[in-house]
Amino acid sequence: MYINHKDLKIDDIKEIPLWRYMDLWKFLEIVNTSSLFFPSVDLLGDQFEGKIPDKVYLSMKEHDKRNGREDSFVDVFKNFMEDYSRNKTLTLSWNAAENESFALWKMYAKDRLGIAIKTDFERLKNCFRSTDEEIYIGEVSYFDDNNPEYNFGQFSTLLTKHIYYNYEKEVRCLTRMEDDENLRFKNVKVDLNELIDEVYLSPFAYKSGLLEIIEFLKEKHKLKFEIKMSGINDSWL
């Protein structure tokens, strides 16, 4: 089920569409299993994912040194936060935007067989209503080395990324593993009719037969989403 948490920012995303771009085979997995794939943080591409930025770490050490605290305290804290983030948390990412993103189509949905699921915050949280796992949802903040503000909280290492990635306008679903679990990923059961508002087909998909595939899947699984073609018309895709 969805759990509201005071440390997670959600106010700015409540009225904005949420998107997830993927290749056809990933969409097939979603509709055939009625589940969403949550990978562990260490499977994500950014090597600094789940880590406290170096500038923040050095500032913490300097602060403790000035205040006479043992130098090892910061290292213990940093190691605990990063270990918990990378080894005990699973995550699923969405893009918060009013419109489609050319960049995200190009990155995540290639070869004219791309899919974009469009939903919103209410649908997203409600799709987990019957889910066994506790699901947290929050907006990602972007860290700038030239303006190094960092808000520490229970989820700070999971919901902070370098400003290089701010074009993603990322929103994350998070779930924690049990103490005795050691997973690389988990397929989390969801209500697809609650989750999916619209399915967008990638640019030029009309040449690939993708529309017929999605219509077949929609009918087979008794899904209610609307099917739309991407409005982007760019040969680079």
pLDDT at 2: 92
Count of Cβ atoms closer than 10 Å to residue 45 Cβ: 6
Identify whether the C-beta of residue 62 lies closer than 8 Å to the C-beta of residue 101.
Answer: no
Question: Torsion-angle region of residue 107: left (phi > 0), alpha (psi -120 to 50) or beta?
Answer: alpha
User: Whole-angstrom Cα distance, residue 177 to residue 192?
Assistant: 23
Q: Are 200 and 228 in contact (CB under 8 A)?
A: yes
Residue 79: exposure state from Cβ atoms within 10 A (0-12, 13-18, ≥19): exposed
Please give the pLDDT value at position 136. 95
Whole-angstrom distance, CA of residue 85 vs CA of residue 119: 26
Residue 192's pLDDT is what?
98
Q: CA–CA separation, 39 vs 227, rounded Å?
A: 27
The predicted pLDDT at position 30 comes to 97
Report the alpha-carbon distance of residue 84 to residue 75 in Å, rounded.
14
CA angle 142, 117, 44 (to 5 degrees): 45
Parts of the chain with a pLDDT under 70: 45, 58, 60-61, 63-71, 73, 111, 147-153, 180, 206, 234-237
Which residue bears the tokens 């993603």? 168
> Which pLDDT score, from 0 to 100, does residue 75 have?
73
Q: What's the rounded Cα separation, in Å, for the pair 227 and 63?
A: 54
Count the residues in the chain. 237
Q: Which of 143, 54, 130, 127 is nearest to 92 (CA)?
A: 127
SS3 content of the chain, % helix, strand, coil (to 5): 35, 25, 40
The whole-number pLDDT of residue 201 equals 93
User: Alpha-carbon distance 214 to 58, whole Å?
Assistant: 51
**What is the pLDDT, as a whole number, of residue 33?**
96
pTM of this structure: 0.87
Pairing of β 35-39 and β 136-139: unpaired
Distance between CA 224 and CA 216 in Å, rounded?
12
Q: What is the residue type of 230?
A: S
